[in-house]
Structure 1
Amino acid sequence: MAKPRPLLGLLAGVAAGLVASAAMAAFQHQAEKLLPEEGGDEDPATVKAVDQASAALAGAPVPEPWREPAGLAVHYVAGAVLGGIYGVITEYKPEASAGFGGAYGIATSALLDEAAVPAAGLAPGPDGTPLARHAYGVASHLVYGIVLEGVRWLIAGKR
């Protein structure tokens, strides 16, 4: 096995994470149209997260004109961080790219959508989420993982 290149892995992963986040957002924009109406106009978890942070730091939620851009920033920062982690992991354990990044994408779905986001009170738990919404989350993260690996591979090469 070749010697690990953690800095290259990190940089490739962050760059790939940003591209994969854009692909995920594009997929979600189209896939949302296929989901049944849930009757609510609730903010996405990213906006709720930035509101919580803003309330803790500034004592008030994010002002209305900044809510959507702030939520997008959270989406891209999370994607870049997860991509950086993935890039470093694949330098040491190439098998982490199983399924051309699909396994990592599904793992992020389980970790974020099914565990961390509900635990933080940003979305209902798995039992309170419709099946179509679960499938949407898994598919979105699968897109993220596959694009993440594709771009990481283009930058850092095969391990």
Structure 2
Amino acid sequence: MTSENLLKGALCGFVAGVAATIAKTVWEDYFPVRDEDTDTPPAIIAQRITERTLSDKEKDRASMGIHVTFGVGTGVLYGVSGEVVPEITSGLGAPFGLGFYALTHGSVVPALDLEPWPTEVKPAYAVNEFAGHFVYALTLEAVRRGMRRYVV
């Protein structure tokens, strides 16, 4: 494993992270994961950090900024990890999607009181959130894999 391969993995993961974040965002436009008047976990984080009530416009900006940063950052980490442990990319990224969901909206996000536990929301919202992580992961792996073929 060379540092050059890690850099290539990071580059592919960055681009794949952008694409996957867009895909999950579009998914949630069609398959909502919460009521429109419910704050997103990133909006709640932003309010906690600023220690004040944010306007709707500020919440939207903060939410998008945190969401994109997290999604793209995860893509970079995934791309680098795939260079070190290629098995992470198996199953077109579906196992990663399951783990990603389990470590975020399935556990840590509700434990930090950023949203209710999956069993405490409308079943359709829980299913949409769960499926959205597979949309993210499959897009992440498809783009990463496609790019990695050409970044030699």
Q: Same fold (TM over 0.5)?
A: yes
State the 1:129 CA deviation: 2.8
Shift of 1:20: 0.4
CA distance in 1 between partners of 2:75 and 2:121 (Å):
26
Q: CA deviation at 1:72?
A: 0.9
* Structure-1 residue corresponding to 2:23: 23
C-alpha distance in 2, partners of 1:107/1:150?
A: 17
Q: Secondary structure at the match of 1:113?
A: coil
User: Which runs of no fewer than 5 residues in structure 2 stay unpaired?
Assistant: none
Whether 1:125 aligns to 2:117 is yes
Q: Hey, which bits of structure 1, 4+ residues long, moved more than 4 A? A: none
Distance 1:22 1:110 in 2: 21
TM-score, scaled relative to structure 2: 0.87
Q: Which runs of 5+ in 1 are unaligned?
A: none
Q: Work out the CA distance in 1 between the residues paired with 2:15 and 2:54.
A: 27
1:82, distance to aligned residue in structure 2 (A)? 0.9
Distance between the aligned counterparts of 2:21 and 2:104, measured in 1? 14
Seq. identity, %: 27
Residue 93 of structure 1 aligns with which residue?
Answer: 85
- Show the counterpart of 2:128: 136
State the alpha-carbon separation in 2 of the partners of residues 116 and 72 from structure 1: 19
Query: 2:46 maps to which residue?
Result: 50
TM-score (structure 1 length as normaliser):
0.83
Question: What is the one-letter code of the residue matched to 1:15?
Answer: V
**Quick one: distance in 2 between partners of 1:103 and 1:131?**
22
1:85-124 deviation line (CA, Å, top 9, x unaligned): 1101110111111221111112111111011111111011
Q: Take 2:18 and 2:6, find their aligned partners in 1: how far apart are those partners?
A: 18
Which residue of the partner structure matches residue 100 of structure 2?
108
How large is the RMSD of aligned CA atoms in angstroms?
A: 2.1
Greater alpha carbon shift after TM alignment, 63-72 vs 91-100? 63-72
Paired position in structure 2 for 1:41: 37
1:144, 1:129 → 2: CA distance? 21
